[in-house]
A and B are shown apart, each in its own frame.
Chain A
């Protein structure tokens, strides 16, 4: 790892002011992804701004919404009793990610900003448009079992690896950020982006902007929720496909539905068309099978990951079945 300077930011405004326009200065919070990327020489900052002293760790239950500080640890949120009661889908998704040691270190903001685990992104001997723009995509035509099936481009077929973000996309969260021009809010589903011709950009955060918190509006998804994560081993592995489901059921009729998928796109993949299809329907095996097929409509495989088309449909059906039976 290249050596670097590190300074501690004592306020979010001073943290933002410390960042330069290029990537030579970066924020560090939990560091679980950044330190790994630095060891692999995928990123090599000259200077790190340690933001852990900032007062951004609180989980607050406000009027009509829950606010979670960007520096709240993944385990802190996953095991918060009120989060488990009010936002069980978020707690389930967080608990499905990484290991307990990593969840103790990793922060909510850092989870959102973690980079893809596409092997071509990580291997500096390989071409990758995300790591080195215009160098080509090794995954297209290469080993691409983990790759995306939705929203891909000729430049990039990487997936966003987070579980937490899949739940937050389903729950209509908002991202609060602070930058040199002041504060602004971004809809969670607009935070991460599709690769297009600029896969080097994972999200819509502007240079020098710092995530300060996320907000989740109050909802009634306290019972019929499920986070289904399908992976190569039963724990501590990234998702091949994951599905976050939140349903409101009245006499077995679906009055409200939220669905999002992980492991299928460059961003958490919200299934709004499937949600609309489900609303007003009576929960049944047949409806959930139809929802699975509809959810994967338009998906495209790249060879090694063709299985995700069938797996995705089955996972949607299974997640809906489990959520409805709770």
Chain B
């Protein structure tokens, strides 16, 4: 039986500690640390670093692709780094990390945003959808199918962002012409230059009229 993978940073209801509980315990550490032998053990286990890390984190409740997570994160963690580094959802790509390429586009509460410029702590109780959350079992999302059919990529690095943006582009009502699609997809750069086929894919999904 496969063991349930748990994240080091994840606080599950069973092992959740309130900050107050922690401080009580850390007070105990300090008392114990007065004994030299304990000090050595503390140093070996890097308790001081762990304590510092814990005190610099903030709690975050967030739902990603339908799954709720209760986490403790550093305030400087971007939503992109949270997804990739802590939740192991590496489908969302880090391109420029400065809001210039769109590879990190995800949906937050149904709206497309750049996860690299979004602080995760400011997405408290948000519902996030990433490229991993689009398919239903083995059935791909219509936009994923259209990208494959229309050859809407070459290297594929920008593709998760393009697909998330393309779905939003239609939902927002900005896919009424090739020109409009180009304008409202301009935040997603494709270095391979698959733009023509990306517009084809979005046009096909729009004209297919399926609910997205």
Contacts and interface: CB of A to CB of B under 8 A. Distances in A.
A5 B121 CA distance: 11
B91 interface: no
Nearest to A29: B122
Contacts of B142: none
A105 to B, nearest CB: 5
B186 A99 contact: yes
Given A32-B117, A235-B182, A2 B98 contact: no
A35 B186 contact: no
Given A35-B117, A100-B174, A50 B122 contact: yes
A101 B187 contact: yes
Interface residues of B, number: 31
A40 B96 CA distance: 12
Interface stretch (B11-19, B74-82, B200-208): B74-82
Nearest to B100: A236
Interface in A38-59: 38-40, 48, 50, 52
A98 B111 CA distance: 16
A31 interface: yes
Interface residues of A, number: 27
A35 B97 CA distance: 10
A307 interface: no
A2 B76 CA distance: 7
A102 interface: yes
B114 interface: yes
A100 B184 contact: yes
B113 to A, nearest CB: 5
Interface of B: 56, 58, 74-76, 78, 97-99, 102, 105, 111-114, 117-119, 121-122, 165, 168-169, 172, 174, 182-184, 186-188
Given A48-B75, A101-B105, A235-B183, 5 more contacts: A1-B76, A99-B102, A100-B184, A235-B186, A236-B186
